[in-house]
Structure 1
Amino acid sequence: MFIEIDPKNDVYKNLIDLAFDVCNEFILVVRKNLDLNEYAKIVLEKLKGSLKEMKEESIWASGQLFGQTAFVYHYNTDNQARAIIKECSNSLHSWVQPNLPEDLSFIKNDKAWLINTAHEYESYIETEDEEEIDKIIKIKGLKVKLKYL
């Protein structure tokens, strides 16, 4: 399911709520070749209580670096993190360095569920669960295009 228009404001918050309900993990990426501004550092600090682990990786849900690595932060989808993710941004595609860590994406049982490449304005959801699809479609204002195989 391709997200055709950047979810903003209430659409963003409703999508984030669904992702937190469905998934057990989310990730944020910090590229080593780009600085973080103070606000982005504060966001990472606020999320520390939900941090599972930080790995240095070249591949993650929404991207791949060739010959380089980035810091990929893996977080639990707990209520504290939910509130922070909803309060620190009002747009899925705003997750771009230096203003925020990159590419907020969600993982369900070790499989990418909401994949977000924010700087390229590309986001999509991978699910075959009919109940999840129904809930996604019912998010008022969310513009998605179903992908049929």
Structure 2
Amino acid sequence: MNSEHQPHHHDENCGCHHEQHDHHLHSGHSHQPEPDHQAAPAITVKTHDTSLVGSYRLTIAASFEEADTILDQTLTKIAAEITVLGGIIGHIKANLTAAGRSCMISITEDESDHHYSDSHCCQAEGVAIVFGIIPEQLDAILHAVLGPYLSV
């Protein structure tokens, strides 16, 4: 969201739709459709009661073992950055799948826990449920840390 293009403050009660509003601002330009017109965004951040829920879909171009290590390191980095901002980790979780294998990684404190299982379908999907930071901070952390692996 770039505030210099918005004539008024937007929130869930403002009555306008950001996608439509942004489209009208750029109606004189020819450009590709917004990503959310084609598929769900790779990262979303929403509020739920007093928590923030950031969800993500990733593609990690590596072997299952390498992707497992990469995903563990990225989730641990997300946890560390949330903690540095004074946030509280409710749960950070991802499911890693590759042909014939899968691994669920779960973080509720500082260390991760791995649960392996068989799967027939390397993609990762997950959520970060956190408290004590604002949505823009979680969105920035997820994009910075997970950016190289975002599904397109």
TM-score, scaled relative to structure 2: 0.31
Who wins on radius of gyration, i.e. which is larger? 2
Given the two structures, how large is their TM-score scaled by the length of structure 1? 0.32
More RCO (CA 8 Å, sep 6+): 1
